[in-house]
A = this chain, B = another copy of it.
Amino acid sequence: MKVVVLSGGVGGARFLLGVREHFAGTDADITAIVNVGDDMWLTGVRIAPDLDSIMYALAGVNDTERGWGRAGETERVSAELRAYGVGWPWFTLGDLDLGTHLTRTHYLREGLGLAEATRRITARWPLGVRLLPSTDQEVETHVHTADGVMHFQEWWTRHRAALPALEFEYRGVVDARPAPGVVEAIGAADVILVAPSNPVVSIGPILAIPGIRAALTAAAAPVVGVSPIIAGAVVRGMADACLTAIGVDTSADAVALHYGSRTNGGLLDAWLVDETDSAGIPTLSAAGIRAAAVPLWMTDPATTAAMVSAALELGAQPGS
What residues make up the interface of A, taking CB atoms closer than 8 Å to B?
41, 43-45, 74, 76-81, 83-87, 95-96, 98-100, 102-103, 105-109, 120-121, 124
Contact = CB atoms under 8 A, between A and B. Distances in A.
Contacts of A78: 99
Contacts of A74: 76
B99 A83 contact: yes
Contact of A103 (B86, B105, B120): B86
Given A45-B102, A80-B98, 9 more contacts: A43-B103, A44-B45, A45-B45, A77-B77, A80-B96, A80-B99, A80-B100, A85-B124, A86-B103
Say what secondary structure dominates the interface of chain A: helix
A20 B185 CA distance: 64
A294 to B, nearest CB: 39
A83 B95 CA distance: 14
Contact of A43 (B87, B96, B106, B120): B106
Q: What is the oligomeric copy number?
A: 2
Contacts of A95: 76-77, 80, 95
Nearest to A99: B80
Contacts of A99: 76-81, 83-84
A44 B84 contact: no
A68 to B, nearest CB: 17
A210 to B, nearest CB: 28
A77 B70 CA distance: 12
Contacts of A80: 95-96, 98-100, 102-103
A84 B45 contact: no
A263 to B, nearest CB: 45
Contacts of A45: 44-45, 102, 105
Contacts of A77: 77, 95-96, 98-99, 102
A79 B124 CA distance: 13
A121 to B, nearest CB: 6
A44 B105 contact: yes
Contacts of A79: 99
A84 B41 contact: no
A96 B74 CA distance: 12
A237 B202 CA distance: 54
A151 to B, nearest CB: 16
29 contacts: A43-B103, A44-B102, A44-B105, A44-B108, A45-B45, A76-B76, A76-B99, A77-B77, A77-B95, A77-B96, A77-B99, A77-B102, A79-B99, A80-B95, A80-B96, A80-B99, A80-B102, A80-B103, A81-B99, A81-B102, A81-B103, A84-B100, A84-B120, A84-B121, A84-B124, A85-B120, A86-B106, A86-B107, A87-B106
Nearest to A121: B84
A82 to B, nearest CB: 9
